[in-house]
């Protein structure tokens, strides 16, 4: 029986990379995103090439009232859920001076990246605890960012949201470990997606100047592979920790 994963923001970019990597590892995958699009179809087709069944639920994780529907759609795929991947997120409405961040941008970013993610994790964890554990490894994997520890003042609200979900990973690890549910954080660095496209020229220059010891852009597939390893239970004595998928950017240098 294939394990079941729920991936939020799974239509494209890092989310799509995660969906396909999990499918390759033998998972069936429920995708939650704002709307079903051509990107969704491409991602589901790619996952299907690896034998995965997929399901889609249109939902906004910032709207807590939609969480029960997301959870039910995931459980309906296989009668259980083995892995939640918290990938849905947004960047700052506009990069710029920290002193110009608006309450509207702050509330939007924190509402999706932190509040929505926290309460969906809570809902899934409650359901996991209420169900008898199956044979598969159970886990919650949260996609944060290098900005959980590396400050970017031009998008302060985003950095705050990612630092907060880093702590969220640890507190859920403490709460759920005795039930055999592990909590992990994956910190992507500069990954080639629509979110980073707006700053592509800047990142090209920084990478050429030595921003990362591995001198290239990261790809969604790089993040997907890391998530699939964690979700597959290959690190059974690890919880509450972060995996950096950033080409070594996090390493302090003198």
Nearest of 32, 26, 29, 28 to residue 11 by alpha carbon: 32
Query: pLDDT, tens digit, for every residue of 134-174?
Result: 667 999 999 999 999 999 999 999 999 999 999 999 999 99
The rounded percent of the chain whose pLDDT value lies above 70 is 99
Q: What is the pTM of this model?
A: 0.96
Q: Per residue, what are the HEC states of 192-206?
A: CCHHHHCCHHHHHHH
pLDDT of residue 183: 98
Asked if residue 65 has pLDDT above 90, the reply is yes
Helix, strand, coil content of the chain in percent (nearest 5): 50, 15, 35
Active site residue 158: yes
Spot the catalytic one: 27, 56, 158, 217: 158
Higher pLDDT, 253 or 61: 61
- Give CA–CA dist 167/237, Å, rounded: 19
The CA-based dihedral angle spanning residues 41, 58, 81, 183, taken in that order and rounded to the nearest 10 degrees: 100
Q: Does domain 4-245 have CATH number 3.40.50.720?
A: yes
- Give CA–CA dist 67/60, Å, rounded: 8
pLDDT of residue 195: 81
pLDDT of residue 197: 83
Query: pLDDT, tens digit, for every residue of 94-113?
Result: 889 999 999 999 999 999 99
Q: Give me the chain's average pLDDT, please.
A: 96
pLDDT of residue 110: 98
Lowest mean pLDDT among 132-141, 183-192, 229-238: 132-141
pLDDT class of 75 with cuts at 50, 70, 90: very high
Asked if residue 22 has pLDDT above 90, the reply is yes
């Amino acid at each position: 029986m294939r394990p079941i994963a729920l991936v939020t923001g799974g239509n494209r970019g890092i989310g799509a990379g995660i969906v396909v990597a999990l499918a390759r590892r033998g998972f069936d995958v429920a995708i939650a995103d704002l709307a079903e699009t051509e990107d969704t179809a491409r991602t589901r087709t790619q996952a299907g090439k690896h034998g995965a069944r997929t399901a889609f639920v249109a939902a906004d994780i910032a709207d807590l009232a939609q969480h029960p529907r997301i959870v039910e759609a995931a459980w309906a795929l296989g009668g259980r859920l083995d892995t939640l991947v918290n990938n849905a997120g947004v960047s700052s409405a506009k990069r710029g001076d920290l002193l110009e961040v608006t309450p509207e941008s702050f509330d939007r970013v924190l509402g999706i990246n932190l509040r929505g993610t926290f309460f969906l994790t809570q809902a899934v964890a409650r359901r996991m605890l209420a169900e008898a554990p199956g044979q598969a490894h159970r886990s919650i994997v949260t996609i944060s960012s290098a900005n959980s520890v590396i400050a970017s003042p031009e998008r302060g609200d985003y950095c705050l949201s990612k630092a907060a979900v880093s702590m969220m990973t640890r507190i859920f690890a403490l709460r759920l470990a005795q039930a055999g549910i592990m909590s992990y954080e994956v910190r992507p660095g500069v990954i080639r997606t629509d979110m980073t496209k707006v700053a592509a020229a800047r990142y090209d220059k920084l990478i050429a100047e030595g921003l990362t010891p591995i001198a290239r852009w990261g790809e969604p597939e790089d993040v997907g592979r890391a998530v699939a390893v964690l979700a597959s239970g290959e690190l059974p004595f690890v919880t509450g920790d972060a995996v950096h998928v950033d080409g070594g950017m996090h390493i302090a240098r003198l």
